[in-house]
Amino acid sequence: MSIGYACQTIGIPNTSSKNCTLKNANEEKLYQIISYNLDSLDHILNYNINNGIKLFRISSDLIPFASSPANTLEWWNLFQAKFIELGDKIKKHNIRVSMHPGQYTVLNSPNTDVVYRAIKDLEYHNRVLDSLKVGKNHKLVLHIGGIYNDKEQAMLRFITNFKTLDQRIKDRLVLENDDKLYNIKDVMEIASQTNSPVIFDNLHHKINPCNDLRDEFSWIQECKCTWEQEDGNQKMHYSEQNPLKRLGSHSNTINAEVFFNFYNNINREDIDIMLEVKDKNLSAVKCINAVSKEKSIKNLELEWSKYKYLVLEKSHEDYNSIRKLLKEKDNYPVIPFYNYIDHAMEKESAVGGSVNAAQHVWGYFKECATEKEKKLFESKLSSYTEGKISLLPVKKLLWQLTNQYQQNYLLDSYYFADVIETI
DNA sequence: CACCGTCAAGTCGCA
DNA sequence: TGCGACTTGACGGTG
């Protein structure tokens, strides 16, 4: 059983992706962007390896305009060595990767141009996975598409167009229920014709259920049968509704207890769960810890070291509660621990808490920083207190000092997540 | 420097 | 018939 996240990280340096507009796209620019994105992917893989995350979705933005005539680069040749290096790393560490062409890749459109572009896009995605030389258990996830006033015909068109695809693409494709048009029953029906494995998405199912009384766990079990030996373990998507946004919007974070119960209800080891959530890797680590068999408080202490100063900034009350919670070294209070973290993270930072946390972080440099650096920090912090600047420049300075003086305890801190986002 | 609209992709739903 | 929502970083323009 693996738990993973999609496309991007939070709070991890050198893992961002770049893109460009069609207008600015040229060979040199595209080359640089691809090179940058492949390096970022490398750093993401390193992070995943170091944090025991074995499931990851590679962003479709890896190669900009890859399925468009605007990109004339033979990127699979130009970066062949890098792809092989990345693929070796993936295989060596037993990571399962996937890709997920977005909502604009529509294989069942009545418009032949749209279908042509969809096929080009599937070829692109498959080419990335082929370039990594990873097996057929590393999947391409696809939705069915539109309805165009005639669902039956639209489903048939999907099946017909699917059959024209290259065998290597067919072998990788897996089909997912969506939140509007094709429910899990529809997808199962189509998949039985295309011989494709099916991804069950729990939130899509909640929003777009089928006229069938079976609960989500029965459907998960049903979907298992569509996964054959060479497809690898069954995969599913798990997400929770953001209560403040429109129906279908992913939550900011996964609730540890809700996930724990869901996972225990599935009660199987041979399933991989892709989380779709705003805080990405943070929730992946959270969910891994929530269901971990190794119930050691050391894992929570490691998490605490990363969240600590952000929690201190947002909520001194939760900060104190967590400190108290972690004093009992024989316990593994994973659910209350993350409940306090979530509670703190929901809060907006106030000036008092922000100053307090910044001063705590500054404490790491009290001994080593020069007088000039000290002056700079104090002046930035008072500018912030006086409302002249935002908190970001203060954190940027602390981040720079963290790197300069290699303060290991701070290097992995989520306190700097918003700074890292701007680099 | 901060903020906002636009861009790319395709479909659906609502004026 | 046409526009907003969905997604996300780049980019150009305004204050």
Q: Where are the domains of chain A?
A: 3-291, 297-422
A234 or A392, greater pLDDT? A234
The token duo for A248 is 């279908």
Instruction: Give residue A23's pLDDT band: very low, low, confident or very high (50, 70, 90).
Output: confident
**pLDDT exceeds 80 at position A241:** yes
Predicted confidence at residue A22, as pLDDT, reads 87
User: May I ask the CATH class of domain A3-291?
Assistant: alpha beta
Predicted confidence at residue A421, as pLDDT, reads 81
d(C-alpha A144, C-alpha A159), whole Å: 10
CB A134 within 8 A of CB A97: yes
Q: Detail the protein residues whose CB sits closer than 7 A to any atom belonging to strand C.
A: A 7-8, 16-21, 24, 29, 102-103, 245-246, 249-250
CB A57 within 8 A of CB A100: yes
**pLDDT exceeds 90 at position A169:** yes
User: Which nucleotide in the DNA or RNA is closest to residue A25, CA to C1'?
Assistant: C10
In tens, the pLDDT along A24-64 reads: 888 999 999 999 999 999 999 999 999 999 999 999 999 99
Cα separations in angstroms, A346 against A266, A278, A349: 29, 13, 9
Instruction: Give residue A221's pLDDT band: very low, low, confident or very high (50, 70, 90).
Output: very high
**What is the percent of chain A with per-residue pLDDT over 90, rounded to a whole number?**
84
A364 burial type by CB count under 10 A (0-12 exposed, 13-18 middle, 19+ buried):
middle
Predicted confidence at residue A386, as pLDDT, reads 84
The token duo for A57 is 């979705």
**pLDDT exceeds 90 at position A279:** yes
The token duo for A34 is 């691809």
**What is the percent of chain A with per-residue pLDDT over 70, rounded to a whole number?**
100
Of A129-143, A145-159, A296-310, A377-391, the one with minimum mean pLDDT is A377-391
User: Which nucleotide in the DNA or RNA is closest to residue A64, CA to C1'?
Assistant: B8
Predicted confidence at residue A205, as pLDDT, reads 94
Whole-number distance in Å between A383 CA and C1 C1': 53
In tens, the pLDDT along A344-372 reads: 999 988 899 999 999 999 999 999 989 98
A145: phi > 0 → left, psi -120 to 50 → alpha, else beta; which? Answer: left
Whole-number distance in Å between A196 CA and C14 C1': 51
Residues contacting residue A328 through CB under 8 Å, at least 6 positions apart: A297
Instruction: Report, as an integer, the average pLDDT of A290-312.
Output: 95
Output the average pLDDT for chain A. Answer: 94
Instruction: Report, as an integer, the average pLDDT of A338-346.
Output: 96
User: Which nucleotide in the DNA or RNA is closest to residue A16, CA to C1'?
Assistant: C9
Predicted confidence at residue A276, as pLDDT, reads 95
In tens, the pLDDT along A62-116 reads: 999 999 888 999 999 999 999 999 999 999 999 999 999 988 999 999 999 999 9
In tens, the pLDDT along A193-214 reads: 999 999 999 999 999 999 888 8
Instruction: Give residue A266's pLDDT band: very low, low, confident or very high (50, 70, 90).
Output: very high
Find and give the residue nearest to B6, measured CA to C1'. A21
Instruction: Give residue A285's pLDDT band: very low, low, confident or very high (50, 70, 90).
Output: very high
The dihedral built from the CA positions of residue A289, A94, A3 and A17, taken in this order, carries a sign that is: positive
**Nearest residue to A126 via CA among A139, A142, A145, A112:** A139
3-state helix, strand, coil in chain A (%, to 5): 55, 10, 35
Instruction: Report, as an integer, the average pLDDT of A261-290.
Output: 96
3-state secondary structure (DSSP) of residue A110: coil
Instruction: Report, as an integer, the average pLDDT of A149-158.
Output: 94
A281 burial type by CB count under 10 A (0-12 exposed, 13-18 middle, 19+ buried):
buried
Cα angle for residues A23, A28, A34 (degrees, 5° grid): 90
User: Which nucleotide in the DNA or RNA is closest to residue A249, CA to C1'?
Assistant: C6
Predicted confidence at residue A307, as pLDDT, reads 97
Find and give the residue nearest to C9, measured CA to C1'. A19
Find and give the residue nearest to C10, measured CA to C1'. A20
Residues contacting residue A197 through CB under 8 Å, at least 6 positions apart: A139, A174, A175, A191, A223, A226, A227, A228, A231, A234, A235
3-state secondary structure (DSSP) of residue A276: coil
Residue A264's CB: how many other CB atoms inside 10 A? 9
B chain positions with any atom within 7 Å of a protein CB:
2, 7-13
